[in-house]
């Protein structure tokens, strides 16, 4: 009685899948892409709304008036920093003590796997300084964090000044129910990572750091601040964190309401907020923001110190002060008032932020797409793989051949049982070899950097990237190695079985990734699915080969870089693009080792071997 166990019905279904396979695939792929593009348009994109009762309105009084104080602190900090050449720890400790905080320091050191050329660091050691403002009338069970990263290149002295002035102002208030931690980290994200690991007493990245001597309660929310000028024209907010994690939407809503209250100009992905959602302009601008967010989320690297907080399920975002050539500027008081309002509202929280969305895409600060509405886009793309796999499966089992056709060619029926066994055995070699190449791609570049640096006139960082590319390219030579190993008894069956396995493998991986990090899953699905569906050893092989190379994960990265800069209205030339590509590769590997970003291992151990299988199918002999 079942749909699939009944042979007659199954045959009808099989015929449908076989005959309409190509149009169905094209339709499904088109639907997926169209759905994604439609996400920026009003029925799918919705207005954000505050879900948390405790933060319902902006009805708090901002009294911060320490603009001069902040500027003085910033000037002193910059001077001391210039004098010592590093974070002026002693001065910071004194300053924090003078405003009445409990001050602690934490030293840390980290040897990166290879020199980081963009930040010019290799053996890193530094000191984090943090001060705790104890809630006067509450137990120290919960806390909020305001953090300022101080890197080697970015000065961020105004942010430090504002942090100290805010600390002084907060110290004078008696309504705090949560401790507030004011954290200044050295070597920007490395310091943040060291502090967070020590705070939660874990060690996930091999950081050597001193234990923390002062603690507050569980961190409920964190705000990171980056300001490098006395006045700002706008505040840019970054939400994408490590591995594409996002803070609860309510935190962003809170920021947005205080932006509106203070009349601040706030941007998302550096884009001004569209006002007119009724006409076409607003959604088109929203689409650009959406694409930028997808690209940044897919990269999986933390776009600011907040990204590292998210691993510990601390809701966090980074605010960046932008000083452009706009006429109207805001001083530190305006920024400080927005921060004060946010902290006071966060202070009203009774539970963790949990009421609103954790998985969303943003088309503007005030518009979002919820997970229920964007998942179908990925679903349609994955359906293509499923349809193709079904077709192959039926061809392998001759299920699609009707009784009359089967009667016409009786020769096909007898070899069926032995052929199945042969097909499976022949899959082992390509699978193993491609996985081994993936493993080599993951391990060898960092392991053999010194060997490469000795034998070739390159620096370690370059050696890593070049080894990476070399192994990646060497994987393409694979089919010439495997076709001798493979039993060539049933040629057609062999590649069909391999492609079937590869399709299922890819679909599973994409499905899992799309659940965790939709942007990455969708980006990879949108590029890999068509080539994966088309790859077969018959037909125009060179065309398929070019298509496959163009949609390989590395090519996707290169393409994403160009698209990203195009959307930011700063197009890249080819050579710049290549340089950026190399930098992105080394940064991706470094992010994995320094912060535990998963993109590099995921591509090296999962998607690249899978892609190699399709390459193998294409050159099957």
Partner 1 sequence: MAATYCLDRVMAALAGLVLLSFGSLAISKIEDQAEQLFRSGHTNNWAVLVCTSRFWFNYRHVANTLSVYRSVKRLGIPDSHIVLMLADDMACNPRNPKPATVFSHKNMELNVYGDDVEVDYRSYEVTVENFLRVLTGRIPSSTPRSKRLLSDDRSNILIYMTAFYPSLYIFVSILFRVSFSAKKIATDPFATSSGCVLYLVFFTQSVRHGGNGFLKFQDSEEITNIELADAFEQMWQKRRYNELLFIIDTCQGASMYERFYSPNIMALASSQVGEDSLSHQPDPAIGVHLMDRYTFYVLEFLEEINPASQNNMNDLFQVCPKSLCVSTPGHRTDLFQRDPKNVLITDFFGSVRKVEITTETISLQLDSEIMEDRYKEDQMSEELMEPLKYAEQLPVAQIIHQKPKPKDWHPPGGFILGLWALIIMVFFKTYGIKHMKFIF
Q: Contact residues for partner 1 (CB under 8 A)? A: 1, 8-9, 51, 53-54, 56-57, 59-61, 135-138, 173-177, 344, 347-348, 350, 355
Closer residue to partner 1 (CB): 234 or 253: 253
63, 408 Cβ separation under 8 angstroms: no
Rounded CA gap, 241 and 599, in Å? 13
Shortest Cβ distance from residue 353 to partner 1 (Å)?
A: 14
Shortest Cβ distance from residue 444 to partner 1 (Å)?
A: 53
218, 282 Cβ separation under 8 angstroms: no
Closer residue to partner 1 (CB): 51 or 228: 51
Shortest Cβ distance from residue 71 to partner 1 (Å)?
A: 27
Closer residue to partner 1 (CB): 135 or 471: 135
How large is the angle between the packed helices 460-474 and 416-447, nearest 10 degrees?
A: 170
Closer residue to partner 1 (CB): 16 or 79: 16
Q: Is 125 helix (H, G, I), strand (E, B) or coil?
A: strand
Shortest Cβ distance from residue 364 to partner 1 (Å)?
A: 24
Shortest Cβ distance from residue 135 to partner 1 (Å)?
A: 6
Closer residue to partner 1 (CB): 348 or 352: 348
Rounded CA gap, 609 and 441, in Å? 10
Shortest Cβ distance from residue 336 to partner 1 (Å)?
A: 17
Rounded CA gap, 152 and 134, in Å? 31
Shortest Cβ distance from residue 258 to partner 1 (Å)?
A: 13
Q: Is 558 helix (H, G, I), strand (E, B) or coil?
A: helix
Rounded CA gap, 610 and 616, in Å? 10
Closer residue to partner 1 (CB): 220 or 449: 220
SS3 annotation, 206-260: CCEECCCCCCCCEEEEEEEEECCCCEECEEEEECCCHHHCCCCHHHHHHHHHHHH
219, 145 Cβ separation under 8 angstroms: yes
Closer residue to partner 1 (CB): 346 or 422: 346
* Largest interatomic CA distance in the chain: 94
Looking at residue 271, the DSSP 8-state letter turns out to be B
Rounded CA gap, 306 and 223, in Å? 7
Question: 10 Å Cβ neighbour count for 530?
Answer: 18
Closer residue to partner 1 (CB): 123 or 174: 174
Closer residue to partner 1 (CB): 12 or 413: 12
Shortest Cβ distance from residue 310 to partner 1 (Å)?
A: 25
Shortest Cβ distance from residue 114 to partner 1 (Å)?
A: 49
Closer residue to partner 1 (CB): 68 or 351: 351
607, 548 Cβ separation under 8 angstroms: no
Q: Is 561 helix (H, G, I), strand (E, B) or coil?
A: helix
SS3 annotation, 286-347: HHHHHHHHHHHHHHCCCCCCHHHHHHHCCEEEEEEEECCCCCCCEEHHHHHHHHHHHHHHHH
What is the residue-wise DSSP string for 335-382?
A: HHHHHHHHHHHHHT--S-S-SS-SSEEEEETTEEEEHHHHHHHHHHHH
Shortest Cβ distance from residue 404 to partner 1 (Å)?
A: 17
SS3 annotation, 433-476: HHHHHHHHHHHHHHHCHHHHHHHCCCCHHHHHHHHHHHHHHHHH
Number of H helices, E strands in the chain: 23, 14
Shortest Cβ distance from residue 9 to partner 1 (Å)?
A: 8
Closer residue to partner 1 (CB): 60 or 335: 60
Closer residue to partner 1 (CB): 1 or 570: 1
Question: 10 Å Cβ neighbour count for 478?
Answer: 19
- What are the two backbone dihedrals, phi and then psi, of residue 132, each rounded to the nearest 5 degrees? -110, 130
Closer residue to partner 1 (CB): 61 or 404: 61
Shortest Cβ distance from residue 343 to partner 1 (Å)?
A: 12
How large is the angle between the packed helices 371-396 and 491-516, nearest 10 degrees?
A: 170
Shortest Cβ distance from residue 595 to partner 1 (Å)?
A: 35
SS3 annotation, 86-106: CCCHHHHHHHHHHCCCEEEEE
Shortest Cβ distance from residue 60 to partner 1 (Å)?
A: 4
446, 114 Cβ separation under 8 angstroms: yes
Closer residue to partner 1 (CB): 177 or 582: 177
């Amino acid at each position: 009685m079942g749909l699939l166990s009944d042979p007659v019905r199954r045959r009808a279904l099989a015929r449908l899948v076989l005959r309409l396979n190509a149009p169905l695939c094209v339709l499904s792929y088109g639907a997926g892409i169209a759905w994604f593009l439609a996400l920026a348009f009003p029925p799918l994109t919705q207005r954000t709304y505050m879900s948390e009762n405790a933060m319902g309105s902006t009805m708090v009084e901002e009294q911060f008036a320490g603009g001069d104080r902040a500027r003085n602190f910033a000037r002193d900090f910059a001077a001391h920093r210039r004098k010592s050449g590093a974070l002026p720890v002693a001065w910071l400790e004194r300053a924090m003590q003078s405003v009445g905080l409990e001050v602690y320091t934490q030293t840390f050191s980290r040897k990166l796997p290879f020199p980081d050329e963009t930040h010019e660091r290799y053996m890193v050691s530094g000191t984090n300084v943090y001060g705790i403002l104890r809630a006067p009338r509450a137990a120290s069970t919960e806390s909020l964090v305001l953090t300022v990263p101080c890197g080697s290149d970015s000065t961020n002295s105004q942010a430090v000044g504002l942090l100290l002035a805010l600390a002084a102002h907060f110290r004078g208030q008696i309504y705090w129910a949560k401790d507030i931690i004011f954290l200044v980290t050295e070597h920007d994200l490395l310091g943040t990572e060291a502090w967070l690991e020590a705070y939660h007493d874990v060690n996930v990245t091999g950081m050597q750091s001193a234990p923390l001597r002062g603690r507050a309660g569980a961190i409920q929310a964190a705000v990171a601040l980056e300001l490098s000028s006395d006045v700002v024209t706008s505040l840019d907010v970054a939400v994408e964190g490590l591995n594409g994690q996002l803070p609860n939407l309510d935190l962003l809503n809170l920021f947005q309401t205080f932006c509106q209250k203070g009349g601040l100009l706030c941007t998302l992905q550096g884009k001004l907020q569209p006002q007119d959602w009724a006409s076409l302009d607003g959604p088109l601008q929203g689409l650009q923001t959406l694409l930028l967010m997808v690209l940044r989320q897919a990269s999986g690297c933390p776009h600011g110190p907040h990204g590292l907080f998210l691993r510990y399920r601390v809701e966090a975002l980074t605010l960046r002060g932008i000083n452009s050539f706009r006429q109207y500027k805001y001083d530190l008081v305006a920024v400080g008032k927005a921060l004060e309002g946010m902290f006071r509202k966060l202070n009203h929280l009774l539970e963790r932020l949990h009421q609103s969305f954790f998985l969303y895409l943003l088309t503007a600060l005030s518009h979002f797409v919820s997970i229920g509405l964007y998942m179908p886009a990925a679903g349609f793309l994955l359906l293509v793989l499923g349809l193709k796999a079904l077709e192959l499966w039926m061809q392998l089992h001759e299920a699609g051949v009707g009784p009359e056709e089967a009667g016409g060619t009786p020769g096909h029926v007898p070899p069926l049982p032995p052929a199945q066994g042969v097909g499976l055995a022949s899959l082992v070699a390509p699978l193993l070899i491609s996985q081994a190449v993936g493993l080599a791609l993951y391990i060898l570049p960092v392991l053999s950097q010194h060997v490469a640096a000795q034998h070739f006139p390159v620096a370690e960082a370059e050696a890593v990237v070049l080894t990476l590319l070399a192994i990646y390219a060497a994987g393409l030579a694979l089919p010439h190695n495997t076709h001798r190993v493979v039993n060539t008894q049933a040629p057609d069956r062999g590649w069909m079985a391999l492609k079937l396995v590869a399709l299922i493998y890819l679909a599973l991986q994409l499905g899992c990734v799309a659940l965790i990090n939709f942007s990455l899953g969708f980006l990879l699905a949108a590029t890999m699915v068509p080539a994966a569906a088309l790859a077969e050893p018959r037909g125009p092989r060179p065309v398929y080969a070019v298509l496959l190379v163009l949609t390989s994960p590395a090519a996707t990265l290169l393409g994403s870089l160009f698209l990203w800069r195009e959307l930011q209205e700063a197009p890249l030339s080819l050579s710049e693009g290549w340089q950026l590509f190399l930098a992105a590769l080394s940064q991706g590997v470094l992010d994995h080792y320094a912060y535990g970003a998963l993109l590099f291992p995921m591509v090296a151990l999962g998607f690249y071997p899978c892609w190699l299988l399709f390459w193998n199918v294409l050159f099957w002999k």
